[in-house]
Amino acid sequence: MLGNWDDLRLFLAVAREQSLSGAGKLVRLDPATLGRRMARVEKGLGATLFVKSPTGYALTEAGTQLLARAEAAEQTMRMATAGVAEPTDHLGGQIRIGAPDGCANYLLPQVCARLVAQHPGLDIQIVALPRVFNLSRREADMAIGVSAPTAGRLVVQKIADYQLHLAAAESYLAAHDPIEGIADLQAHRLVGYIPDMIFDRELDYLAELGMTRVPLASNSVSVQVNMIRQGGGVGIVHDFSLPTTPGVKRILTDQVSLSRAFYLIRHADDRRNLRLSRFADALAQGVRAEVIRLEANT
């Protein structure tokens, strides 16, 4: 038989997250300990509750039957503690976000700082990498991308459009020939991505301008911005990065204006996870508001 409410709580976490690692973040137990607890529960019940595989923990028929009873018990517990429990919008546990480094450097720090201030039990990890995250391998709980994936069991939510323009340091512009049109760029150093390391076609900004040679290149947006800030040349920058980049100004805004979008990407199996869904909504709202605020100050 099931030992106590704590065992039931742990079972619910594993059933909903479908993995020991995901459930462990929620209940603050390491996967090995949680695995032993679930094995003890199965032994006590005399039934196999999960089918274990490299992709996670799937409920057996016995597990599905127990889930219905466990959720009913959980609802009863909530009703019994109504008025003394934590607010329904409380968020806790660890959540890992994968994001391109432009978003990770210029948007997520302030958004996530506000979220953990509002939810003291919440631990947020930001993994900033210039590549696409594999949510099927659980590299992150959710990811922000610059294009909407069309393959895989994923849930995609558009967060916001954002704008990009050509920019250069005021010191660079003062020391070089005027830039009055796109043709003038041929006489100037360009800053941009390393061509063979562009991981998403939406990032191939310079191709739209017919530019092929990039004397100063990096696979990192923040490195590119710092190259521009140091007078390295002219490059495409996110408008939302400019308020924190003094001495850099947009140029040719009437001739070159690009628009892209951020998308919040989650694994389809997480749709029924209320905690991750609430966090995803709060994150999307925060990033959207921050893009609007920063772009208004360019």
Per residue in 178-197, pLDDT (tens digit) is 999 999 998 999 999 887 77
Given a cut of 70, is residue 62 above it in pLDDT? yes
Q: How far apart are CA 98 and CA 206, in angstroms?
A: 25
Q: What are phi and psi of 96, to 5 degrees?
A: -110, 130
pLDDT given at position 270: 78
Distant-in-sequence contacts of 194-200, Cβ < 8 A, 24+ apart: 194/218, 194/219, 197/130, 199/130, 199/131, 199/132, 200/132, 200/145, 200/146, 200/147
Nearest Cα to 242, choosing from 259, 225, 255? 225
Q: How far apart are CA 148 and CA 151, in angstroms?
A: 9
Q: How far apart are CA 22 and CA 16, in angstroms?
A: 9
Q: How far apart are CA 91 and CA 228, in angstroms?
A: 39
Given a cut of 80, is residue 7 above it in pLDDT? yes
Q: How far apart are CA 22 and CA 14, in angstroms?
A: 8
Q: What are phi and psi of 97, to 5 degrees?
A: -115, 130
Q: Which residues, at least 6 apart from 170, have a Cβ–Cβ distance to it below 8 Å? A: 247, 248, 249
Q: How far apart are CA 239 and CA 84, in angstroms?
A: 45
Specify the higher pLDDT residue, 241 or 4: 241
Hey, which residues does 53 pair with through a beta bridge? 56
pLDDT-derived band at 88 (thresholds 50, 70, 90) equals very low
Hey, which residues does 56 pair with through a beta bridge? 53
pTM, two decimal places:
0.67
Distances (CA, A) of 157 to 4, 117, 224, 266: 39, 25, 28, 9
Determine the average pLDDT of the residues in 200-217.
Answer: 77
Determine the average pLDDT of the residues in 204-220.
Answer: 81
- Provide the mean pLDDT of the chain: 86
Determine the average pLDDT of the residues in 56-66.
Answer: 88
Let me know the angle formed at the C-alpha of 171 by 169 and 174, rounded to the nearest 5 degrees.
Answer: 110
CB 112 within 8 A of CB 99: no
Q: What are the structural domains, with CATH classification, of the chain?
A: 5-80 (1.10.10.10), 93-160+261-295 (3.40.190.10), 162-259 (3.40.190.10)
CB 279 within 8 A of CB 95: yes
